[in-house]
Amino acid sequence: MLICRQKINFLKEARMVNKSEKFLTIPELAKLLGISRIAVYNRVKKGHIPAQKIGKTYIIMDQTIGNILGKKVTRGGKKWIDAAVRKTVQEYGELLKLLGKE
């Protein structure tokens, strides 16, 4: 229990030092996304969610959270979306036109 309190105090102090940078811990992000903390931890370990390690605790920065929630789209994300739209129009263009008429 003492270790958990030390972690919490450390994170609170880190937030006080740099208030402009916002971040979440893995349990906080899991609660926000509505998934288990183990699922978030596995995604962090695989590199799907960028995180920084402070001691034994991972923190996910604010800009990353915006990307995860779809509030911000990176250049790479925009390119991926454009490519997906082009492919869909190529493959289903006629069908999309027919559906648009209905």
pLDDT tens digits for range 2-60: 455 555 555 655 554 445 557 888 998 888 888 899 999 999 999 888 888 888 888 88
Q: CB neighbours of 49 closer than 8 A, spacing ≥ 6? A: 29, 40, 43, 60, 64, 68
Tell me how far apart the alpha carbons of residues 28 and 59 are, in angstroms, rounded to a whole number: 10
Q: CB neighbours of 30 closer than 8 A, spacing ≥ 6? A: 36, 37, 39, 40
> Which of 17, 10, 15 shows the shortest CA–CA distance to 61?
15
Beta bridge partners of 25: 59
Over residues 59-88, the pLDDT tens digits come to 888 777 777 776 666 777 778 888 888 999
Q: Which CATH number fits domain 2-71: 1.10.1660, 1.10.10, 3.40.50, 1.10.8?
A: 1.10.1660
> Which of 6, 20, 1 shows the shortest CA–CA distance to 56?
6
Domain residue limits, the chain: 2-71, 74-102
